[in-house]
Amino acid sequence: MKVKKAVIAANMNKSEVPHLIEQISEYLSQKGILYSVVELREKSKKEYIDDCDLVFSLGGDGTVLYVSRILKREIPVFAVNLGRVGFITEILQSEWKEAFELFLQDRLDISRRLMISVIVKRGGEEVFACEGLNDIVISSAGISKLINFDVNVGDSKMGSFRADGIIFASPTGSTGYSAAAGGPILVPELECFIINTICPYSLSNRPVVVDSNACVSVDLPDSKNHGLILTVDGQETFSLELGDRVFYKKSSKKLSLVMSNQRLFFDVMRDKLNWSGGSNA
């Protein structure tokens, strides 16, 4: 892999980040690779990334989620895990240099992850649009309460539901909120999405997996629906109103994630979810 220019996107809330930026900057300079640093802070202005060959993501899974949304095109993301969970970020801080050398030698795999495109229409007009890597959630913005909504898959009505909300998750996001709500865990490279109601008021409701080419829509017709919020990757929000229609479909862009050669997907699952058997399972 030829890298002429890199961007270091760093979560500045992590104490280890300044030193790691210094290490990577010095290394890139020695390699003759141009670089720039994008500092990600809680209230920093969103800065989109386009003109580079590679993006270093320094932080945890949340940093990767943020980076995936500010990429204007499909650029390889080299994610170094400084967080706690690390379902998405497989490369450890102690491994980054060795892993990057392997990447330059084309000896690391790239995982291409589906992203979700969401559009909200109000009175036929588009009022919100965004892309997410993990999931798009509709829920109550205030005290927990049941909401009513209709779900359509293509031209077919899937059903009318009463629940605490609904999660539309990608395979990457299947290990997040959707899993906590009883959804299936999917291999990240699969071409499909999960529709998962949150605490539905019916024992017959189950998560549904649909083809990634399906266009899914959610209608909010009930006058009791007020104070609803749409959340993208747990990081961006939009207030919904009565009569809004929310459309989900596959994004034209994917996230290209550089994989670790030290651990595979099921190694991470086994470690993080305690799939070890015995009393710790």
- The pLDDT tens digits for 137-166 are 999 877 667 899 999 999 999 999 999 999
- 3-state SS, residue 40: strand
| Per annotation, catalytic residue among 50, 51, 53, 61 | 61
Residue 261 burial (C-beta neighbours within 10 Å; 0-12, 13-18, 19+): middle
Residue 281 has pLDDT above 60, yes or no: no
Residue 82 has pLDDT above 70, yes or no: yes
User: Residue 108's Cα: distance from chain center in Å?
Assistant: 22
Q: Where are the domains of the chain?
A: 5-113+254-280, 116-250
Q: Which of 35-49, 174-188, 260-274 has the highest mean pLDDT?
A: 174-188
pLDDT tens digits, 230-239: 999 999 999 9
Average pLDDT over residues 82-99: 85
pLDDT for 223 equals 62
From the options 2.60.200.30, 3.30.70.1150, 3.40.1350.10, 3.90.100.10, give the CATH code of 116-250. Answer: 2.60.200.30
The rounded percent of the chain whose pLDDT value lies above 70 is 94
Residue 102 has pLDDT above 70, yes or no: yes
Query: Is-above-0.85 flag for pTM?
Result: yes
Dump strand ranges (E) for the chain. Answer: 5-11, 34-40, 54-59, 76-81, 91-92, 110-113, 116-122, 125-132, 135-140, 147-153, 156-163, 165-169, 192-198, 208-211, 216-219, 228-232, 236-240, 245-250, 255-258
Whether 61 sits among the annotated catalytic residues: the reply is: yes
User: What's the CATH number for 5-113+254-280?
Assistant: 3.40.50.10330
Sign of CA pseudo-dihedral 61, 229, 190, 267: positive
Q: Which residues contact 118 (CB under 8 A, 6 or more apart)?
A: 128, 129, 130, 131, 132, 136, 168, 230, 232, 246, 247, 248
Average pLDDT over residues 60-81: 95
Which pLDDT band holds residue 278 (cuts at 50, 70, 90)?
A: low
Contact 53, 100 (CB under 8 A): no
